Amino acid sequence: MANDTLVIIPTYNEVENLPLIVGRVLAAQDGVDVLVVDDNSPDGTGAKADELAAEHDEVNVLHRAGKEGLLAAYRDGFRWGLERDYQVFVQMDADGSHAPEELGRLLGAIDDGADLVIGSRYIDGGEVKNWPKNRYLLSKLGNEYIALALGGDVKDMTAGYRAFKRETLEALDFDALSGKGYIFQVEVAHNAEQLGFDVREVPVTFEDRKLGESKLDASFAAASLAEVTKWGVQDKATIVKDLSTETGRQIVHAAEQSKLSGLGKRIEGAPEQVVNAISEFVPVVKHEVEGLQLGSLRTRAARRTNDAINLGAETIRQALHALGLDSKK
């Protein structure tokens, strides 16, 4: 081990992108090693990783038997690094959406005392480039709902560009995490906050891949919201819990009934006011919740909570109807 920071890059069919991202990492940041975790890619990514490792002492390769998902890849990568005494661990996508040129911001926050640093698209200075509107909305609104349901301060809980101190990883139980899609990213950040670790965000620019095919399927959104809602219920014993539960049911039900996975082809032609109506849902509900006297469930408070829930459900219903995505279509 030449360095104490390990950048972990999971791969599956990234033979075009891998040399580019590894080259950018090594050029952008001194004092880091790279671990490519390949899931037996049929396009030859594993062999390309071996070539890069032969050319660069900083590059290492972990070959896995098959495609087991992103969580399993990171879990095995973390274990590999922990066994070799690395002190800082970085998650980075192979497709170039996580800019290595911004890695210094994450590592700087670690040096400043943070235990987990998230490269955020949704704080001041953060940005998303080249995403279709439907995918941006799913991500942005999903993160707003997550913040409401779990009560945290992190704006981008689903972000995958992260840096961990060794002690943070050692305290987290990665074997107990949900393997549903990308929701483990939320669970890791939430668990770290619950354990009292210093979780911070730094702004980054997320740019959609230019080469290869995305592994993300929009169908994961409803299941992810349901999972987050379950955690919110477990964590809270106040009105916020009830609001999160019922609102989550409304959102998931609306998504399932309206076949939300078909949103992509229709959202592009949607009026801007419809997009704004959806965007306004979470702030309205959050405002209602913050106005309550949390504690005992008074009649007036219960009524205001129900009003907020109904308003949110109606906003979603009308927006989906305007987009032609309601169950009647």
Number of domains in the chain: 2
Tell me the pLDDT of the chain (329 aa) as tens digits. Answer: 679 999 999 999 999 999 999 999 999 999 999 999 999 999 999 999 999 999 999 999 999 999 988 999 999 999 999 999 999 999 999 999 999 999 999 999 999 999 999 999 999 999 999 888 877 887 888 888 788 777 788 999 999 999 999 999 999 999 988 776 678 999 999 999 999 999 999 999 999 866 555 544 444 555 555 555 555 545 543 434 444 455 555 544 554 554 444 444 444 444 444 445 445 545 554 554 454 444 444 455 455 545 555 555 555 555 555 545 555 44
Residue whose tokens read 């919110």: 232
Read off the tokens for 43.
């396009």
- Specify whether 288 is located in the same domain as 200: no
Please give the Cα distance from 297 to 69 (Å, whole number).
Answer: 43
Boundary of a domain, candidates 188, 207, 226: 207
Asked whether residue 157 falls in the same domain as residue 289, the answer is: no
Residue 278 included in any domain:
yes
Of 261, 276, 78, the residue nearest 164 (C-alpha): 78
| Cα torsion through 190, 67, 255, 138, rounded to 10 | 60
Sign of the CA dihedral with 267 first, then 208, 214, and 146 last: negative
Q: Please indicate, yes or no, if residue 225 is contained in any of the structural domains.
A: no
Instruction: Answer yes or no: is 213 within a domain.
Output: no
* pTM (whole model) above 0.75: no
Terminal alpha carbon distance of the chain: 59
Q: Identify the helix (H) or strand (E) that includes residue 226.
A: helix 220-235
Cβ-proximal residues to 248 (8 Å cutoff; 6+ apart), any chain: 145, 149, 225, 226, 228, 229, 232
Residue 70 belongs to a domain: yes
Tell whether 214 is covered by a domain.
no
CB 12 within 8 A of CB 45: yes
Distance between CA atoms of residues 20 and 157, nearest Å: 27
Question: Which structural domain range is residue 59 located in?
Answer: 5-207
Asked whether residue 152 falls in the same domain as residue 288, the answer is no
**Packing angle between helix 272-290 and helix 299-322, nearest 10 degrees?**
170
Q: Which of 207, 226, 255 is the last residue of a domain?
A: 207
Q: Are residues 184 and 285 in the same domain?
A: no
